[in-house]
Amino acid sequence: MFNRILTAVVFIPLAIVLIALAVANRAPVAFTIDPFNPGNPGLTTSLPLFALLFIALALGLVIGGLATWFRQGRYRKAARRVDAAAVRPVPETAPSGHAGLPAPRG
C-alpha cells in the first residue's frame, strides 16, 4: 500500500517534471572538459541540455551508491562473521561435575 502512495505522490509528479525539462531543453549546448581552453574541439562536445542533466543525475546516483556501499563495508563484514559463527557446529562437551554419568531416564 505504501508503494502505491509513494508512486502516486512522488514518482508521477517527478516523471512529469523530468519530461517537461527534457522537452523544454532540447537545444544543444557545448560541454567542454578543459576550462582553460574552451575552444578546444577535441575536448568539447555538443549535447542537449537535458542529456547533460540526466548524465549528471545518473553519475551522482552511482557515486553516492558506491560511497554508501564502501561506508557500510564493515557492517557487511560483521554480518558475514556472525553468519559464519552461527553455521559452525559447536562441539558438545559434558557439563562440569557430571562427566561420565548417564543421562536420566524418564
pLDDT, tens only, 3-28: 888 788 888 888 898 889 888 888 99
Do residues 38 and 44 lie in contact, with contact meaning Cβ atoms separated by under 8 Å?
yes
Whether 13 is covered by a domain: the verdict is yes
pLDDT band (50, 70, 90) for residue 55: very high
Whether 90 is covered by a domain: the verdict is no
Q: Which domain, by its residues, includes 33?
A: 2-72
Whether 83 is covered by a domain: the verdict is no
Strands 44-48 and 28-32: antiparallel
DSSP letter for each residue of 16-32:
HHHHHHHHHT-SEEEEE
Q: Which range has the top average pLDDT, 58-62, 92-96, 99-103?
A: 58-62
Q: Is 34 helix (H, G, I), strand (E, B) or coil?
A: coil
Whether 65 is covered by a domain: the verdict is yes
Whether 105 is covered by a domain: the verdict is no
Number of domains observed in the structure of the chain:
1
Q: What type of residue is 26? A: R
Give Cα 104 distance to the centre of its chain: 56
